[in-house]
Amino acid sequence: MRNIKLVIQYDGSRYKGFQAQKDNDLTIQGKIEAVLSKMSHEKIQLIGCERTDVGVHAENYVANFQTECELSETMILDYLYEFLPDDIVVKSVEEVGERFHARYNVKSKTYRYRINNNRVRNVFDRKYTYHEDDALNIEAMKEAAQVLECSHDFQSFTSLKANGKSTVRTIHMIEIEEKEGVVTIDVTANDFLWHMPRLIIGALLEVGLGENTIEDMKASFEACTKPEYATLAKSKGLCLLDVQY
């Protein structure tokens, strides 16, 4: 049995997230599994590194699957390129050891969020960048980000209901940069809870807009309670940038 690793790029605009759903075939996993199953004449189960939300994009999403198919890595890559939709591209195919697992072997993940902070939106990147025409206080956002760079219980930054499972995660780094009115926020962590990246971005945006203070965010964070102002950042601005093993 071969273990095959894929690195995938996709535009999530029209998809219901990565994970396959019984009542909806518009998922990234569902599309790739269908092509792989047809190619190999087997029922392929794709293991993904993350359950990205509806509308979220990926630059270097990692997945793996097991197969008896004897096609070469190049032939698998070519087959996927030919038969997948135009908004999903497999960038590389690699046969790896049997112990590799796209989800369980992850050491860290990086999400990137893009905000157009100019007065007018850009029609060419409107599907991949959130537009905010009110001026953002970037320095306040950077100061707020420093509060979150730690190992902590992130119950206040997830839509998961408390179920006894650990919600402790480690954010290694949050980088915020602004260039020509476009703000880029990179968040790297050992793992992310459901909606955690979007809630973090939402909290930083609230601080940047002056709608809430760093002290309020810090108090809620330390108390592990979701603040009343907590909002999910729009998914279209979010992209899974990188996964480290």
Q: For this structure, is 53 an active site residue?
A: yes
Report helix, strand or coil for 236: helix
| Beta strands per DSSP E along the chain | 2-10, 47-48, 57-67, 88-96, 108-116, 130-131, 151-153, 168-179, 182-189, 238-244
Catalytically annotated residue among 23, 25, 53, 186 = 53
CA dihedral of 148, 213, 56, 188, whole degrees rounded to 10:
-20
Q: How far apart (Å, rounded) are the C-alpha atoms in residues 107 and 191?
A: 8
Cβ pair 163, 187 in contact under 8 A: no
CB atoms within 10 A of CB 69: 18
CA distance 17 to 138: 30
- Looking at the DSSP bridge assignments, the partners of residue 111 are 187, 240
What lies within 8 Å, CB to CB, of 61 at 6+ separation is 7, 8, 9, 10, 18, 28, 48, 49, 50, 52, 240, 243
Q: Which residues does 74 contact at the CB level (< 8 Å), separation at least 6?
A: 93
Active site residues: 53
